Amino acid sequence: MGVTKIVSKLATAVAALTIATAAYAENPMVGGAPMFETKNIVENAVNSADHTTLVAAVKAAGLVETLQGPGPFTVFAPVNDAFAALPDGTVDTLLKPENKDMLTKVLTAHVVAGDWSAAEIARQARASSDGFYHFNAVSGDALSAQVRGNNIFIYDESGNAGRVTIADVDQSNGVIHVVDTVLVPK
């Protein structure tokens, strides 16, 4: 094999590796784990060390199959520390089988139909007359987004604000935006 062919094959291999690396680099790591655009919301979330409480809650609520569905879904995914900041006993109470409906309501208050990028949410908020983008979660609860500085905050109906700490974690069936607060429905 000639030097030209070797160089050509090497260049092709390097180009393929560069493209694969660039595609991987576009999706952020979450909870110490790579998030793959080819996996669905649940397949990625189970690998995040920061979302073990959320994953346990999704399983307890029976929402795994739904969040593995085609979507698209936008999920504002609270980290473990957000659940830990709730009043003592709240998570344990929600995880009890007799409270499945309440748990489902809390979890679906973090899910919006569609694939909403942080840039689109911010654009909608900036374009509104009051500085907030108002939309509804799958639970039927009202959510609002506001841009403050370089941050997007998602507000629940009670006025609690969750800051988006990691935006645009693309999934095969939507997008996850990591938030630092549990959004509590009324």
Residue 121 CA to residue 132 CA, distance in Å, equals 9
Q: How do the domains of the chain map onto residue ranges?
A: 3-179
Q: What is the pLDDT along the chain (186 residues), one digit of tens a residue?
A: 555 555 444 444 433 333 333 334 477 888 888 888 888 888 888 888 999 999 999 999 998 889 888 889 999 999 999 999 999 999 999 999 999 999 999 999 999 999 999 999 999 999 999 999 999 999 999 999 999 999 999 999 999 999 999 999 999 999 999 999 999 988
- Domain range 3-179, its CATH number among 2.30.180.10, 2.40.50.430, 3.40.50.720, 3.30.420.40: 2.30.180.10
Q: What are the backbone dihedrals phi and psi of residue 177, each rounded to the nearest 5 degrees, phi first?
A: -120, 120
Q: What are the backbone dihedrals phi and psi of residue 92, each rounded to the nearest 5 degrees, phi first?
A: -60, -40
